[in-house]
Amino acid sequence: MFQTLGCVAPLQHIILMGTSRKLSFLTWNIRGFKRKTEEVMAEIEKHECHVAFIQETHINSTDKNVFASLDHWKPFFTKYKPKERGVAILIRKEIVGKSKIWTRKDTTGCYIVVKCTIKGQLYTLVSVYVHQVDSRPLKRLRMILENFAEGILLIGGDFNIALNTYLDRDSLTLNERHFMLKPTVEKFMTSFHLVDVWRRLNPIARQYTYSIVLKDSKEKIPISRLDYVFVPEESVQCVQKCRISEENCCSDHQPVLFEIRCNTNRKSPNHLDVRAKEKMDISKFVSAVSNQWLSCKEKFWGRKFVFTFSQDAFKLINVLDVQKAIESLAGNEKVKRKDGVSLLFYKSYYCALIPYLCAFYHKVLEQPMTIPKSFNEGYPVFQHHYIFNVDYLILATIMARWLSDHLDSHSTDYIVDKKCKKVLFTFKKGPKMVPWSFFERCFNTEQQREPRLHTKFKIDILENILQNSPDRRYKILYWGCPLTPVLMRLFLIHIAERFVEHVKQPKAKIHISIDNVIVSLSENVSRDLLEKAETELPCVHCKFVDELTRVGVQVATNSSNS
């Protein structure tokens, strides 16, 4: 069965999804297309996919169009002289029709980007193969997407690393090349607030996409999860389901399947005029743009906001910080926001808006009580997921990066030790309600830790820009805000540190990853101590890693013998 995001859909919704309200996707490392075309296409057709991201096609520069026989598909693919690379995206002709399609290709065969309209929604589709010894294509892809991506960004591919070395691999053999790639992949994810969709849906499960094949029995033994679906935080609410196929297939990688809900975002005509980028000359209408924005924001805030352009403002909030934050917001540009100002407006006219944004954020950081009450307002689009105003997302993005850089500086390396007992800390599904007193305790500790937390990051600002529970004792962390995953990571670290103190094992190691924290203990501990750790925050799991569910391992092993 598919894992469903957030909640079980009602019967009526399931029926609609079964007709035209969904798009089915697949990402799969096929290990060669030409010699097993029929098997690959049979697998894609079996899962009724509308779009397929495939990797390791092994199509070189001398090959003719190997996709010519696929009558019902529009193929987009790369060629590369050595056979070990190559990526492609296959899209059913019926869902794109004659709409305009834009592409970007990697000359080394490691990625392809396709921008197109499907069922009235603009998508940027990316198929990626990260070669074990070359991280440069991923760096190039990041720069391309900053300027090229529009609409809903969907990325599928083989990234050749286990994001969490304790949960996403079953082998104790260290692959140094994988560890070299990890910082590059994590930076790529941070650049666009990308979410590992399968892990978001399966916080305490273990399942693998890559298998080794035993020479004698030809049995497949799954050993690691190398294949991922990445979606920006704001667009996660579009993902209905995601699962790793457990059936035997013609590759040493298992397909990863996911579904997108169509037309889930409310749209309306934007309050502000957005001119065509091709005709834009910012110097001729900079005042007109800023006046439109100011007029709209003053109505939304309910009062006039005085902007003072001092040199201090640009020291506290750097122009480049704001620009990079805007470029990193990879959501639906035209989706309706509470204030009526679309992401497209900010991306089109950021040159005119940045001075005002810097002045506004400077006042917010220096005088948190001046924050307009409507600043953090959003509307729910799916359970526990909100669409926020863009000016709020920009500041949340900048603050999230300050905090993320600080946490990265304290992360410990992965250490292989069979004797260690490993404990997982991660958040449960559902709402994330955290007592404000817990916030204060965590940040008081971080302000004393070397290297120090960024001096611009002030907890008073969090108190004002995060949403409160009805009794105001708790802060509610909603998906869709860039600060949510980083704050969750911070809280997990502090719970893990308190746990280490309680078990009295000072030599225990804490390994910090994007979605969870692992504590590696030198001695066994009782289950009672795990349950006690969960009382710190009731929305947190505390589990022995060795006892986590291993999904699909037995099925994959048995099916390989059939």
364 contacts 313 by C-beta, under 8 angstroms: no
Tens-place pLDDT, residues 45-60: 999 999 999 999 999 8
Q: Are residues 205 and 62 in the same domain?
A: yes
> What's the whole-number mean pLDDT along residues 398-413?
83
The CA–CA distances, whole Å, from 465 to 327, 374, 433, 476 equal 22, 10, 15, 11
Domains contained in the chain, number: 3
Say if 392 falls within a structural domain: no
Q: Are residues 228 and 311 in the same domain?
A: no
Helix, strand, coil percentages (3-state) for the chain, rounded to 5, are 35, 25, 40
Tens-place pLDDT, residues 137-183: 999 999 999 889 999 999 999 999 999 988 998 865 566 666 778 88
Tokens 């097993």, located at residue:
36
Q: Which residues of 337-357 are buried (b: 16+ CB within 10 A; e: fewer)?
A: bebbbbbbbbbbbbebbbbbb
Q: Are residues 103 and 208 in the same domain?
A: yes
Whether 556 has a pLDDT exceeding 50, the answer reads: no
- The tokens for 50 are 């509308």
Say if 40 falls within a structural domain: yes
Q: Are residues 289 and 248 in the same domain?
A: no
Q: Give percent of the chain above pLDDT 70.
A: 88
Q: Are residues 152 and 292 in the same domain?
A: no
The CA–CA distances, whole Å, from 164 to 33, 169, 170, 255, 256 equal 30, 8, 11, 20, 18
Look at residue 336 in the predicted model and tell me its pLDDT: 85
Indicate the SS3 state at residue 133.
Answer: coil
Look at residue 81 in the predicted model and tell me its pLDDT: 79
Q: Are residues 198 and 74 in the same domain?
A: yes
Look at residue 16 in the predicted model and tell me its pLDDT: 33
Say if 423 falls within a structural domain: yes
Residue 41 is part of a domain; what is its CATH number? 3.60.10.10
Say if 115 falls within a structural domain: yes
Look at residue 11 in the predicted model and tell me its pLDDT: 31
> What's the whole-number mean pLDDT along residues 316-345?
89
Tens-place pLDDT, residues 468-485: 999 989 999 999 999 999
Sequence-separated (6 or more) residues with CB below 8 Å from residue 483: 396, 399, 400, 403, 462, 466, 477
Confidence label for 120 from pLDDT (cuts 50, 70 and 90): confident
Least confident of 141-155, 231-245, 369-383, 517-531: 369-383
Look at residue 181 in the predicted model and tell me its pLDDT: 86
Indicate the SS3 state at residue 360.
Answer: helix
Q: Are residues 58 and 185 in the same domain?
A: yes
Between 2 and 470, the higher pLDDT residue: 470
Say if 355 falls within a structural domain: yes
The total of other beta-carbon atoms located within 10 Å of residue 490's CB is: 23
Confidence label for 282 from pLDDT (cuts 50, 70 and 90): low
Between 332 and 176, the higher pLDDT residue: 332
Whether 233 has a pLDDT exceeding 70, the answer reads: yes
> Pick from 359, 375, 391: which residue ends a domain?
375
On the CB side of 359, how many CA atoms lie within 13 Å of its CA? 13
> What's the whole-number mean pLDDT along residues 235-251?
93
Tens-place pLDDT, residues 508-531: 989 888 899 999 998 889 999 999
Tokens 């849906």, located at residue:
201
Confidence label for 559 from pLDDT (cuts 50, 70 and 90): very low
The three-point CA angle 429-430-433 to 5° equals 115
Strand ranges inside 199-335, DSSP E = 205-206, 210-213, 220-224, 227-232, 239-244, 256-261
> Pick from 234, 261, 288: which residue ends a domain?
261
Look at residue 78 in the predicted model and tell me its pLDDT: 94
| Cα separation, 198 vs 258, whole angstroms | 9
Q: Are residues 136 and 167 in the same domain?
A: yes
Tens-place pLDDT, residues 190-220: 999 999 999 999 999 999 999 998 877 778 8
> What's the whole-number mean pLDDT along residues 53-82?
89
Domain span holding position 361: 277-375
Tokens 């056979």, located at residue:
83
Between 366 and 489, the higher pLDDT residue: 489
Look at residue 430 in the predicted model and tell me its pLDDT: 80
> Pick from 331, 358, 375: which residue ends a domain?
375
Whether 291 has a pLDDT exceeding 70, the answer reads: yes
Say if 339 falls within a structural domain: yes
Between 120 and 436, the higher pLDDT residue: 436
Least confident of 184-188, 302-306, 492-496: 302-306
Q: Are residues 426 and 486 in the same domain?
A: yes
| Cα separation, 314 vs 361, whole angstroms | 10
Q: Are residues 439 and 465 in the same domain?
A: yes
Mean of all residue pLDDT scores within the chain: 86
Q: Are residues 351 and 465 in the same domain?
A: no
Whether 455 has a pLDDT exceeding 50, the answer reads: yes
Alpha helices in 336-422 (DSSP H): 343-348, 350-366, 390-408
Q: Are residues 358 and 454 in the same domain?
A: no
Confidence label for 9 from pLDDT (cuts 50, 70 and 90): very low
Say if 400 falls within a structural domain: no
Say if 240 falls within a structural domain: yes
Tens-place pLDDT, residues 410-449: 766 656 666 788 999 999 988 799 999 999 999 999 888 8
